[in-house]
Amino acid sequence: MSPFGGVVNRVQKFREAALMAKAELARKAGVSESTIDRVEAGHDCRMETKRKILFALGLSLHESTKLFPRNGARRAAERR
């Protein structure tokens, strides 16, 4: 869950399905482990960080909505 009251992204779910620790995802993505913590908690991040996480999980840019819903979906989650 996120501080917005709904599911904002699915990074943790995909990471766990890949049997990957936060530290491993952070290393593969080239970001800090605290960045992964913040993203999994539902905080916003830069587009470049999202791209790095996607590639580290073996996903393409076309599959980005699997991890990060579009703004409209996020706003709907915030209203719940």
Read off the tokens for 6: 């709904």
Domain range list for the chain: 11-79
pLDDT at 71: 65
pLDDT of residue 52 exceeding 80, the answer is yes
- Calculate the average pLDDT of the chain: 84
| Number of CB atoms found within 10 A of residue 33's CB | 14
pLDDT-derived band at 75, boundaries 50, 70, 90? very low
Per CATH, the number for 11-79 is 1.10.260.40
User: Which of 6, 58, 68 lies closest to 29, judged by CA?
Assistant: 58
Residue 69 banded pLDDT, cuts 50, 70, 90: confident
DSSP 6-66: S----HHHHHHHTT--HHHHHHHHTS-HHHHHHHHTT----HHHHHHHHHHTT--GGGHHH
Q: What is the pLDDT of residues 13-32, one digit of tens each?
A: 999 999 999 999 999 999 99
